[in-house]
């Protein structure tokens, strides 16, 4: 939505621009793509933790979550 606001021409406030975009796309449009985004971020975060723990174990440090 931010990129859509930035693309709108005129001297209207950000709130007015956001309202006009909301009227155009509706409530469902605000949430379109959320599931895909959650899966993408979850996968990336999981892989980062896997790489981090693998590096810690390889260097002789204790893995995360181990007491």
pLDDT tens profile 4-38: 888 888 888 989 988 998 999 999 998 999 999 99
- With contact defined as beta carbons under 8 Å apart, do 17 and 8 qualify? yes
Rounded CA gap, 54 and 64, in Å? 10
Rounded CA gap, 44 and 23, in Å? 33
Here the tokens at position 57 are 């174990």
Let me know whether 65 and 39 are in one domain.
yes
Let me know whether 27 and 40 are in one domain.
no
pLDDT of residue 9: 82
Residue 62 C-beta-side C-alpha neighbours within 13 Å: 4
Question: Which residues span the domain enclosing 4?
Answer: 1-32
Let me know whether 38 and 67 are in one domain.
yes
Number of domains in the chain: 2
Let me know whether 39 and 66 are in one domain.
yes
- Flag whether the pTM goes above 0.75: no
């Amino acid at each position: 939505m931010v990129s859509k606001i930035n693309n709108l021409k005129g001297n209207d406030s950000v709130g007015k621009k956001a309202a006009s975009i909301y009227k155009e796309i509706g409530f469902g449009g605000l949430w379109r793509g959320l599931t895909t985004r959650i899966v993408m971020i979850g996968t990336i975060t999981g892989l980062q933790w896997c790489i981090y723990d693998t590096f810690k174990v390889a260097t002789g440090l204790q893995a995360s979550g181990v007491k």
